[in-house]
Amino acid sequence: MHDFKYKNNNLYCEGLRVRDLAVRFGTPLHIYSYHTLTDHFIKLSKAFSAIDPLICYSVKANSNLAILKALVEKGAGLDIVSGGELFRALKAGCPAGKIVYASVGKTEREISSAISKGILFFNVESLPELKCIDRIARGLGKVTRVAIRINPDVEAKTHKFITTGKITNKFGIDLESAYRILLLRGKFRNVKICGLHIHIGSQITESAPFVAAVSKVSGFVRKLEAKGIKLEYLNIGGGLGIVYDRESPQTAQVYAHEITPLLKNTGLKIIMEPGRFIVGNAGILVTKVLYIKNTPKKKFIIVDGGMNDLIRPALYGAYHNILPLRKTFRCEKADVVGPICESGDFLAKERRIASAGEGEYLAVMSSGAYGFSMSSNYNSRLRAAEVMVSGKKARLIRKRETYADLIRNEIKG
Amino acid sequence: MHDFKYKNNNLYCEGLRVRDLAVRFGTPLHIYSYHTLTDHFIKLSKAFSAIDPLICYSVKANSNLAILKALVEKGAGLDIVSGGELFRALKAGCPAGKIVYASVGKTEREISSAISKGILFFNVESLPELKCIDRIARGLGKVTRVAIRINPDVEAKTHKFITTGKITNKFGIDLESAYRILLLRGKFRNVKICGLHIHIGSQITESAPFVAAVSKVSGFVRKLEAKGIKLEYLNIGGGLGIVYDRESPQTAQVYAHEITPLLKNTGLKIIMEPGRFIVGNAGILVTKVLYIKNTPKKKFIIVDGGMNDLIRPALYGAYHNILPLRKTFRCEKADVVGPICESGDFLAKERRIASAGEGEYLAVMSSGAYGFSMSSNYNSRLRAAEVMVSGKKARLIRKRETYADLIRNEIKG
């Protein structure tokens, strides 16, 4: 599943002892395993080899250039959601023709730039957006391609913040409205509707919601074909869940087994947008124990990583396993908390956890996705460094911020 | 209360039309009123003039150098929680002798730097931290001052993430343990315990919890005096609530009236740490309407400001009033949502709100505190610009980020 394993009671990332990396690069520190990262991509490719999809890694999960480059070199396309991600995708060497662009709030500048660069297509989220893209393309004297994002009204059974395929969510277009748009497609002279897109949410651990969504959309494809509307692409989005705690998510094989027949039947070129599935378990956040604080009611393990480094526990009530870098069998119940001045700053609550003394290190597991990418400078804390490990080599892929970075754009006056 | 008011149906910040600022500086845009900011500070000073407290503005609420400088020039000290905030405080021109430093997770480097700069005192959160400060001061050949942060076990009646004075929170030291520490104070040769600190939470709208906490701690001060332990300072923290929706928080006068007698009785120099009270209503976030999206179940107003710009609605379920820049009496029920690809990205849900068309602007009110300071680059979005208005003058106090800023510290390899 991933390449963070104990050897002689020490946690290793591939061929390197994590403790040595913590000492060398300082903490808090994000460490990624190159092998885990690329292996997840390859596993997914192989599971779906029968239909040879274009797998567009979802940049928002972790947008570090080195992560993007590693995947692009393996043949991945990229799924972007902003002009900033377009900039990153191109910097990382991704061919524009392998970039798909979703977001309910694309600005004119972002649309214009994506058209000019020649991305594969936009995932269009509303009729006003479609009109806007058409108008901008006309201004640029181009015809650009779009997929209509369908909101299939399917319950993904995940956290409410990352459910995106219910009709009460802001995403996509309901089937009926999408049908009307497709019938009127000739009105949009500078837009070619070349496909459909669905994305029902994130961290989904069962196949059933995917099957339900794909079934709905493939029925829709047939309905369109009956009307003489031929499409090229079906973008089935991402959302594959990973193991954080005791989940047993569908594997790539099971997932592929369940939906490949449905996808094949459409006759369309399939696009997938996995993010967390690729990078989630490929990263850990290493943090140092600053103080052990015993209070009358609780034990607190105070560490140097905070909610600014990993907001998932506070924002989603997310569970992350926490492991000591040196294996121990002594356990105790404690809250693992960061240095930030609010009670929402915690990594674990009332958790039975391996004992770790002051100055020792802990690894917050499975923090590769939505870890650094959601990090902030809250409490004027410096954003952490990021390191990529491949075999016995470690490489800094993002320098730790400095105090100068904090105020770089400020003008005191 | 604040200087954002309609004149001729246009929203103004002091003497300038907000719409003109949005056009000039772009959106999303944080706009602060200098007069509101400094006026809140002055009001608090006046309300407590009988005891002449040192008012240390809480930097974490909004740490822009121009905000800090404006307050420091009016005589404010600063309440910091990290080395980054110490750096900012000194850059803003705050005398070190007016800086107090709290945080459950101060690192050795941060402690060392604060001692070297000669801050007024540390608010110490645990016995291990006290030992650590003592050891570091000894290494530096200095004696440094500390206040013991008491956890008074008082319910602040606010969001659970910003309640900090319950015994199950990570903050402060229970009274009994604090008493033992004070009896043994001679053991810490390089630390002088000069005061007590309490801070029971944030956005507290009633006086009762403050009165309860101050009563507890002043009883404790008497107990110490009876033992011959003389202190100099009582730091009563911050936490004063402001109006976001229909709250009617205590005014500075009422608050002062309730607790001044208790504070006077202690005979100690009083320190206060207001943050939100000073800057909360002094700032707005201006955002542009990108698309109006009608779906079968809901209307969505999609704007260019997202949860990366203001995370309070998603993280705390916080309410922010949303006003059109051009007053209108047409209202409708809608969700106001940002461009970020998750359902947690909203500014208002099912809110009756003034109608605003595509291309128009909305002001998210009372976003001066915990707005920019918690902002991130999630979805590779650029952090917004910040502008300070004073009378008829507007000044950029933080430049909008560029794409180059996003990858400044990254090494693609």
Verify whether the Cβ–Cβ distance A161 to B88 is below 8 Å. no
Q: Give the structural domain span for B313.
A: 4-32+280-406
- Please identify among residues 5-64 of chain A the ones whose CB lies closer than 8 Å to any CB of chain B: 59-60, 63-64
Tell me how far the alpha carbon of residue A378 is from its chain's centroid: 22
Q: In this structure, which amino acid lies at residue A21? A: L
B301 and A CB contact within 8 Å? no
A85 and B CB contact within 8 Å? yes
Task: Give the minimum alpha-carbon distance from A349 to chain B in angstroms, rounded to a whole number.
Answer: 11
Of residues B167, B293, B412, nearest to A295 (C-beta): B167
pLDDT over 90 at B388, yes or no: yes
Domain boundary among A276, A297, A329: A276
The answer to whether residue B341 is catalytic is: yes
Contacts of A158 (CB under 8 A, 6+ apart): A201, A202, A203, A204, A205, A239, A241
Please indicate, yes or no, if residue A177 is contained in any of the structural domains: yes
Verify whether the Cβ–Cβ distance A398 to B379 is below 8 Å. no
Of residues B293, B378, B413, nearest to A374 (C-beta): B378
pLDDT-derived band of residue A162, with 50, 70 and 90 as boundaries? confident
pLDDT over 80 at B106, yes or no: yes
Mean pLDDT within B131-159: 95
For B150-205, strand residue ranges (E) read: 191-197
d(CA A191, CA A131): 9
The answer on B113 and B42 residing in a single domain is yes
Verify whether the Cβ–Cβ distance B380 to A293 is below 8 Å. no
The answer on B225 and B346 residing in a single domain is no
Please answer whether residues A104 and A123 qualify as being in contact, where contact means their C-beta atoms are separated by less than 8 angstroms: no
pLDDT over 80 at B1, yes or no: no
Domain count, chain A: 2
Task: Give the minimum alpha-carbon distance from B371 to chain A in angstroms, rounded to a whole number.
Answer: 10
pLDDT over 80 at A386, yes or no: yes
Of residues A163, A381, A395, nearest to B84 (C-beta): A381
pLDDT over 80 at A345, yes or no: yes
Model pLDDT, residue B12: 98
SS3 A321: coil
pLDDT over 80 at A1, yes or no: no
Please indicate, yes or no, if residue A269 is contained in any of the structural domains: yes
The answer on A360 and A252 residing in a single domain is no
Of A166, A344, A312, the closest CA to residue B318 belongs to: A344
The answer on A125 and A28 residing in a single domain is no
Mean pLDDT within A278-293: 98
Of B140, B117, B21, the closest CA to residue B395 belongs to: B21
Number of H helices, E strands in chain B: 12, 20
Q: Which residues of A touch B346 (CB under 8 A)?
A: 170
Please indicate, yes or no, if residue B412 is contained in any of the structural domains: no
A337 and B CB contact within 8 Å? yes
d(CA A394, CA A387): 6
Model pLDDT, residue B413: 86
pLDDT-derived band of residue A300, with 50, 70 and 90 as boundaries? very high
Q: Which residues of A touch B82 (CB under 8 A)?
A: 339, 379-381
Residue B342: give its domain's CATH number.
2.40.37.10
Residue B129: give its domain's CATH number.
3.20.20.10
Give the DSSP per-residue string, A75-92. T-EEEE-SHHHHHHHHHT
Encode pLDDT of B169-186 as tens digits: 999 999 999 999 999 999
Mean pLDDT within B299-320: 98
Model pLDDT, residue A314: 97
Model pLDDT, residue B17: 98
Encode pLDDT of A169-207 as tens digits: 999 999 999 999 999 999 999 999 999 999 999 999 998
d(CA A217, CA A228): 16
Please indicate, yes or no, if residue A412 is contained in any of the structural domains: no
For B338-402, strand residue ranges (E) read: 346-354, 361-364, 385-390, 393-398
SS3 B388: strand
Mean pLDDT within B378-388: 98
Encode pLDDT of B329-370 as tens digits: 899 999 999 999 999 999 999 999 999 999 999 999 999 999
Give the DSSP per-residue string, A115-151. HHHT-SEEEE-SHHHHHHHHHHHHHHT--EEEEEEB-
Model pLDDT, residue B156: 87
Q: In this structure, which amino acid lies at residue A168? A: T
Mean pLDDT within B204-224: 94
The answer on B250 and B219 residing in a single domain is yes
Encode pLDDT of A218-242 as tens digits: 999 999 999 999 999 999 999 999 9
A/B interface, count of CB pairs below 8 Å = 298
Verify whether the Cβ–Cβ distance A104 to B412 is below 8 Å. no
B291 and A CB contact within 8 Å? yes
Task: Give the minimum alpha-carbon distance from B293 to chain A in angstroms, rounded to a whole number.
Answer: 6
Residue to test with chain A: of B170, B358, B378, most A Cβ within 10 A:
B170
Model pLDDT, residue A329: 86
The answer on A152 and A255 residing in a single domain is yes
Please indicate, yes or no, if residue A117 is contained in any of the structural domains: yes
pLDDT-derived band of residue B141, with 50, 70 and 90 as boundaries? very high
The answer on A25 and A87 residing in a single domain is no
pLDDT over 90 at A74, yes or no: yes
Please indicate, yes or no, if residue A413 is contained in any of the structural domains: no
Task: List phi, psi (to 5°) of B182.
Answer: -65, -35
Candidate list B94, B194, B331, B341, residue with the active-site label: B341
The answer on A222 and A284 residing in a single domain is no
Domain boundary among A217, A241, A276: A276
Domain boundary among A233, A248, A276: A276
The answer on A328 and A260 residing in a single domain is no
The DSSP secondary-structure symbol of B302 reads E
A293, two tokens: 């604080």
Task: Give the minimum alpha-carbon distance from B88 to chain A in angstroms, rounded to a whole number.
Answer: 8
The answer on B220 and B72 residing in a single domain is yes
Please indicate, yes or no, if residue A140 is contained in any of the structural domains: yes
Of residues A304, A388, A412, nearest to B105 (C-beta): A304
Contacts of A217 (CB under 8 A, 6+ apart): A150, A152, A196, A198, A234, A236
Model pLDDT, residue B174: 96
Angle at A405 between CA B108 and CA B284, to 5 degrees: 110
Q: Which residues of A touch B173 (CB under 8 A)?
A: 295
Please answer whether residues A66 and B413 qualify as being in contact, where contact means their C-beta atoms are separated by less than 8 angstroms: yes
Task: Give the minimum alpha-carbon distance from A74 to chain B in angstroms, rounded to a whole number.
Answer: 15
Model pLDDT, residue B117: 98
Taking all residues of chain B, what is their mean pLDDT, rounded to a whole number? 96
Q: From B413, which residue of chain A is nearest by alpha-carbon distance?
A: A66
Verify whether the Cβ–Cβ distance A163 to B343 is below 8 Å. yes
The answer on A307 and A210 residing in a single domain is no
d(CA B142, CA B132): 13
A386, two tokens: 């990021």
Q: In this structure, which amino acid lies at residue A304? A: D
B359 and A CB contact within 8 Å? no
Mean pLDDT within A301-313: 98
Model pLDDT, residue B157: 85
The answer on B70 and B27 residing in a single domain is no
What's the Cα-to-Cα distance from B35 to each of A102, B31, B70, B283, B392, rounded to whole Å?
Answer: 42, 12, 10, 11, 11
Of residues B377, B382, B409, nearest to A398 (C-beta): B409
**ipTM of predicted complex:** 0.97
- Please identify among residues 196-255 of chain A the ones whose CB lies closer than 8 Å to any CB of chain B: 202
Please answer whether residues A318 and B58 qualify as being in contact, where contact means their C-beta atoms are separated by less than 8 angstroms: no
Encode pLDDT of B239-295 as tens digits: 999 999 989 998 999 999 999 999 999 999 999 999 999 999 999 999 999 999 999
What share of chain A has pLDDT > 90, as a percent?
Answer: 94
Encode pLDDT of A238-256 as tens digits: 999 999 998 899 899 999 9
Task: Give the minimum alpha-carbon distance from A372 to chain B in angstroms, rounded to a whole number.
Answer: 9
A295 and B CB contact within 8 Å? yes
d(CA A253, CA A40): 12
Please answer whether residues B65 and A410 qualify as being in contact, where contact means their C-beta atoms are separated by less than 8 angstroms: yes
Model pLDDT, residue A156: 87
